[in-house]
Amino acid sequence: MANRMILNEISYHGTDAINEIVNEIRNRNYKHALVCSDPDLIKYGVTDKVTKLLDQAGLSYTMFADIKQNPTIANVKSGLTLLKESKADYIIAIGGGSSIDTAKAVGIIDKNPAFEDVRSLEGLADTKFPCTPILAVPTTSGTAAEVTINYVITDEENHRKMVCVDPHDIPLVAFVDPQMMETMPRNLAAATGMDALTHAIEGYITKGAWEMSDMFHLKAVALISKFLRGAVENTKEGREGMALGQYIAGMGFSNVGLGLVHAMAHPLGAVYDTPHGIANAIILPIVMEYNAPYTGEKYRDIAMAMGVKGTDIMEPKEYQKAAIDAVKQLSFDIGIPKKLTGIMDEKDVDFLSKSALNDACAPGNPRDLTLEDIKQLYLKLI
C-alpha cells in the first residue's frame, strides 16, 4: 500500500514571515480577499498586523469575524454568504483552528456547492474540486490547521463535532510567524501547546503511522517538550520553538490520523464548549495508559524525545510510565487541570462515549475500542 503525504504548496517560517503575504497575493494575481478572523484577534490588533500590509499595498478585502471558538454550521454559512456577496476570489485565514477551519469549510463549499448543507462534509467527503485558495496565518501554537487536510465544525443542533478530512481543503500558503503568536494569553498558549503535543504523540502511535510521519512526530515531541514552557511564559525562544514544533506535528498527523484522545475531546467541545486543547491535555495521560500495551517500543522514543534519561536500559513498563509521567509533568508545569471535574457531567457519559466511538479519529487508535472502555475512561477523569 502506498503512503500519501500532502503539505502546503509553500510555507514561510520565522520572524516577519507575514511580510511575504503581499508578494504571494500579487504573484497569484488575486483580486479581493475574504479575511476570516475572530473578534478577539481584531479587538487586540492581531489581525491588523496583516490587514495593514494589505492596506499599504492597496489590496482590497472584506472582513468576516462571525466565528465562535468552536466554529459552527451557522458560522460557515454566514462566511459563505459573505464570500459570494463580496465576490472574493481567495481567503486569508488569520487565527487558530476556529478561523482556519471555518475558512476551509467556506472554501470547500464555494467550489463544491453540493455540500452546502455543511453536514455532508463530515468524514471523507467526496468533493471534486480544490477549495477557494486559502492563505493561512496561524496565531496560536497548536492546531496546525494551516498545514492539515482536516477541519472540525460543530453541529450545535445535534451537540456534536464533525471531523472533516479532505485533501482539497489544505491552504495553499502558510505564514508561520511567531510574532503573530506573542499576544496569546498564558492559558491559550498552554492549551494550544498541549493540543500540539497530543497531535505529535497520537500521530506517532496511530495505526497509519510510517517512517516519514514518525520523523515529523518525534521531532515535534522534542521541540514542544523543550519550548512549551517558554511559550507559556511568552519568551521569544519559546514562541519560535512552538511555532515550528506545532507545524511539524501537523505535517505528520494530517497525513496519518489521530486516535482516542481527540475522539474523546471532540464531544466535550460540542456539548460544553470546552477548549479543545484543555480537553486533549486532560485526556492524554489516561489514554496513553490505556494504549501502552499496544504501542511496541514507541513510548521509549517518546520518553527519550521528552528528555527522560536512561530510557535505553528501561523495561517496557518503565519507559511507558516514564513517557506518561513526562506528559503529566509538562501539563502540570503549565497549569493544565488534571481532571474533567467541573467540565463534564456524569449524566452525559453515555452520549459522550457513543459520540467518541463514532468520531472520525477513533479508528486510528492503536488499540481497538469498545463503548464500555470509553465510558470507563471518561468516568476516571471526573
Q: In what order do the strands lie in the sheet with 60-64?
A: 10-13, 173-176, 134-138, 90-95, 32-36, 60-64
Q: State the chain's maximal CA–CA distance in angstroms.
A: 64
Do 214 and 363 belong to one domain?
A: yes
The answer on 103 and 230 residing in a single domain is no
Task: Indicate the residue among 181, 205, 235 that finishes a domain.
Answer: 181
Number of structural domains the chain divides into: 2
Q: In this structure, is residue 262 part of a structural domain? A: yes
Question: What is the predicted pLDDT for the residue at 178?
Answer: 96
Range of the domain at 18: 10-181
**Each residue of 343-371: pLDDT tens digit?**
999 999 999 999 999 999 999 999 999 99
Burial of 207 (0-12, 13-18, 19+ CB in 10 A): middle
CATH number at residue 24: 3.40.50.1970
Does residue 5 belong to any structural domain of this protein? no
- Same-domain status, 101 and 17: yes
Residue 315 lies in a domain: yes
Q: What is the pLDDT of residue 1?
A: 74
Same-domain check for residues 55 and 198: no
- 174 with 195, same domain? no
**Domain stop point among 131, 151, 181:** 181
134 and 107 Cβ atoms separated by less than 8 Å: yes
Query: Helix or strand or coil: residue 307?
Result: coil
194 touches 232 (CB < 8 A): no
Contact 42, 71 (CB under 8 A): no
Render 191-220 in DSSP notation, one character per residue.
HHHHHHHHHHHHHHHSTT--HHHHHHHHHH
pTM: 0.95
Residues 247 and 169 placed together within one structural domain of the fold: no
Alpha-carbon span 221 to 94, nearest angstrom = 25
Assign residue 317 the CATH number of its domain: 1.20.1090.10
Q: How far apart are CA 316 and CA 143, in angstroms?
A: 31
On whether both 329 and 272 belong to a single domain, the answer is yes
Q: Assess whether 164 and 234 both reside in one domain.
A: no
Within 10 angstroms of residue 317's Cβ, the number of other Cβ atoms is: 11
Q: What's the pLDDT at 69?
A: 85
Mean pLDDT, 10 residues at a time, over the chain (382 residues)? Answer: 93 97 98 96 94 98 92 96 98 95 98 97 95 97 95 92 95 97 92 97 98 98 98 96 97 97 95 93 98 98 98 97 98 95 94 96 97 97 92
In a domain, 348, yes or no: yes
Rounded CA separation 272/215 (Å) = 35
* Same domain (yes/no): 198, 278: yes
In a domain, 2, yes or no: no
Q: Are both 283 and 199 inside the same structural domain?
A: yes
Domain endpoint, select from 131, 152, 181:
181
Q: Find residue 176's DSSP bridge partners.
A: 13
Instruction: Answer yes or no: do 133 and 154 share one domain.
Output: yes
34 with 125, same domain?
yes
What pLDDT sits at residue 70? 86
**For residue 360, how far is the Cα from the chain centroid?**
14
